[in-house]
Amino acid sequence: MALEEFSPLLVEAWRRSATETVAITVVSLEMARHLRYRLYKLRVAMRASNHPATALANRGSVTLLDLRSPEGSWQVLVGPADSGLDEALLSAGITLDDAPEL
């Protein structure tokens, strides 16, 4: 797939996901899965075309969250891949002082 086949808003979601979690509410599990699929396909297209935001997209992940609402809404969370691990790492006593330079 070519980059032109994707909405620029999807690229912006990947850009933002490098520093924050973007929560996108959709009306069904089917739509949540479709959005996740499009985001992952976009990331592949970004890699293939050497898009400037590829490094940011590579750091992100997509999670589907059931809101358990009467309407059947779901949230698609696009955010930093390691964001959920920070609390566990800190509680294990791992700090930035221990981390090697990359």
**pLDDT string in tens for the chain (102-residue length):** 889 999 999 999 999 998 899 999 999 999 999 999 999 999 999 999 999 999 999 999 999 999 999 999 999 999 998 877 888 888 898 888 766 666
Domain that holds residue 49: 3-91
- Nearest 5 degrees, angle CA 96-CA 77-CA 64? 120
Total domains in the fold of the chain? 1
Query: Is 78 inside any structural domain?
Result: yes
Helix 29-49 vs helix 8-17: angle between axes, to the nearest 10 degrees? 90
DSSP bridge pairs for 79? 61
Nearest to 6 by CA among 59, 43, 58, 55: 43
Query: Is 100 inside any structural domain?
Result: no
pTM, 2 dp: 0.82
Query: Is 82 inside any structural domain?
Result: yes
For residue range 76-85, list pLDDT tens digits in order. Answer: 999 998 877 8
Give me the half-sphere count of Cα atoms (radius 13 Å) on the Cβ side of residue 96. 1
Query: Is 98 inside any structural domain?
Result: no
Nearest to 77 by CA among 39, 21, 10: 21
